Structure 1
Amino acid sequence: MILSILLMTKLSEGYLILFSGLVIVFSALLTLSLFFKFGLPVMLYIYKIITKGPDKKIKDIPIASDDKFTGEEAAVIAAAIHMYLNEQHDFENPILTIKKAEKSYSPWSSKIYGIHHKL
């Protein structure tokens, strides 16, 4: 009698945990799907309205030049980029050699001293 009551309470607790977990997971999935279906397009539309500027074509944008930028500065920048991209590190041999390590005998790892003796 007591055993059956204990089994019923444990069984009902298991179903309660299962049901609550399923409700949490599926409600989270439903919330995320509704957000991606309706909330995200609204947010993108609002962002587009906020950042909307006057439409310009590429040919209408003037090319601004800096008169202070000289050829010497361009040469220094080009030399720095060239030195960075061609930077040589220490030469390392790409050939790998694998040597087998010799294991010395240890009674601690010996199988003959195992605790399970089959008779």
Structure 2
Amino acid sequence: MLIYLITKDGAVLPPDEDVQPFKNNSVYTNAIPSLSIQLAHNISCITNKMISPQCLDIVSNLYFPFDNSIRTYIEYEGFDLNHTTIKQTDVVLLAFPLMWSMNDEIKRNDLLAYEPLTRVDGLAMT
């Protein structure tokens, strides 16, 4: 069951384990419950188990950091694209394996924005 508690807002560790301290509104960790609840909602006609309106409301109001000026997703709230080195780019994981719905321009922008920031010596999924 998905429950939103304002007292527990934030403080997540995204797939890039180097991110410390924990961050708010990781684009990847917000995408996972969104996709999960959307899938459950889409197949509810088969399972006869309806998703509560509260869950649908929570996932429809999740924040996905995005910079409109350069048309790219941002790793997490407050992430600095100009002065950060990362172990892996969580944003690229949106396109694959999550298959997040976005156009090719944004996928390309994400790859171009994060490739120079990614360490070459870290084990990563990207």
TM-score normalised by structure 1 residue count: 0.20
Q: Which has the higher helix share?
A: 1
Bigger RCO (CA 8 Å, 6+ sep): 2
